[in-house]
Amino acid sequence: MSTLSVSLPVVLCGRTTAIGKPVSEALLPEYEVIHFIQTNEAVLSELPHLLAGRDPQAAASNDIGTHDYSRPARAVIFGRGYDMEDIEVFRKTTSGSASKPIAWVVGDPAKKPNTNGPPPPAGYAKVAADLVKEKLDQWKASGADKDELFLY
């Protein structure tokens, strides 16, 4: 059985658990969030381990995700609270950590919410998860054989 025919292990990076939890649940069953990261510092320290199929070397700071580190993450999903410049730093810093290609699914900077604005509307997490699934499905359909960056 192909490793892409079972749930694909992914890391979800977002600023709030209020959005992270429903997004992680909406990604199931095709995509299994193994770890949820909330800060840039945690991305830099934990992501290389997760991409290599190891424990993140830090206690989980939330209850989001399965915390099953037996398979390396094949995709990293960033919410719209992250800047593209930071994403590029994360990609460069973790280069070489993964043994297989990684899909990087990133919130479109043109759709970034105002940090002082109102919270996302009801149903936002489901909409975001569906957009992410669409990008990951695309990557899998193309063979998942190269690192790619997708905006949603």
DSSP assignment of 32-59: EEEEEE-SHHHHHHHHHHHHTTS--SS-
On average, the pLDDT of the chain sits at 94
What's residue 4's pLDDT? 63
Q: In what order do the strands lie in the sheet with 148-151?
A: 31-37, 8-13, 75-78, 103-106, 148-151
- For residue 131, is pLDDT > 60? yes
The pLDDT value recorded for residue 60 is: 86
**With 70 as the cut, is the pLDDT of residue 120 above it?**
yes
CATH number, span 8-115+137-151: 3.40.50
Say what the pLDDT of residue 112 is. Answer: 82
Sketch the domain layout of the chain as residue ranges. Answer: 8-115+137-151
38-42 contacts, C-beta under 8 A, 24 or more apart: 38/13, 38/14, 38/62, 40/82, 40/86, 40/90
* pLDDT tens digits for range 34-91: 999 999 999 999 999 999 999 999 988 999 999 999 999 999 999 999 999 999 999 9
pLDDT for 1 equals 42
User: Where do the DSSP E strands lie in 2-134?
Assistant: 8-13, 31-37, 75-78, 103-106
pTM equals 0.93
The pLDDT-based confidence of 8 (bands split at 50, 70, 90) is: very high
Backbone angles phi, psi at 52, to 5 degrees: -90, -5
- Distance of alpha carbon 111 from alpha carbon 18, whole angstroms: 19
